[in-house]
Amino acid sequence: MLGPHQLSRQISIHAPATAVWDVLMDARQLSAWAPLVHEVERCSDRETVGASRTCRVSFGSRQGRLVERVVEVEPGSSVTYVVDEDSFGMSRMLRGYGFRITLQPAGAVTTVRIDTFYAPRTPWVAVLNVLFLRRRMGSLVGQLLAGLREHVQTVVVHREVG
């Protein structure tokens, strides 16, 4: 179950929603657009409810693994994940950590929004969340969105040229 909503970030991508959706639904492409992800070690063929993926990631100088599971899919519109396991200690600090990616098409442009959810486990983590954590998470989400935009727009240009 997801914790309470913590933040939203969005970006416009000059590509149709179907192109963005195709990238999101193929976990094997994750390391091509998510700068934090070095490798997807295990994943399902498609991102369907119950599918999980194990990613080797870096947060700053720290490297480790995340196991993410799809908990909700609205085809062509949104996908929601929870983080089931991590080697960074996030699960010791945060309860119900997950995120939802939503597409809002408008012709040849698609707005992609990522909403992040979690609950601090202790009062101390709640203070850290206000002072530091939420801002850091927002920065990471911004990097993910920028990487997605660059990758999708490159894929669309190659399709049009090819």
In 52-133, where does DSSP find H-type helix?
90-93, 123-128
Averaged pLDDT of the chain: 92
Residue pLDDT, tens place only, 111-133 = 999 999 999 999 999 999 999 99
CA atoms within 13 A on the CB side of 86: 19
Specify the pLDDT at position 157. 60
* Nearest one of 89, 155, 147 to 114, comparing CA atoms: 147
User: Quick check: 161 pLDDT over 60?
Assistant: no
- pLDDT band at residue 160, thresholds of 50, 70 and 90? low
* Nearest one of 113, 140, 143 to 20, comparing CA atoms: 113
Fold held by 5-161: Alpha-D-Glucose-1,6-Bisphosphate; Chain A, domain 4 (3.30.530)
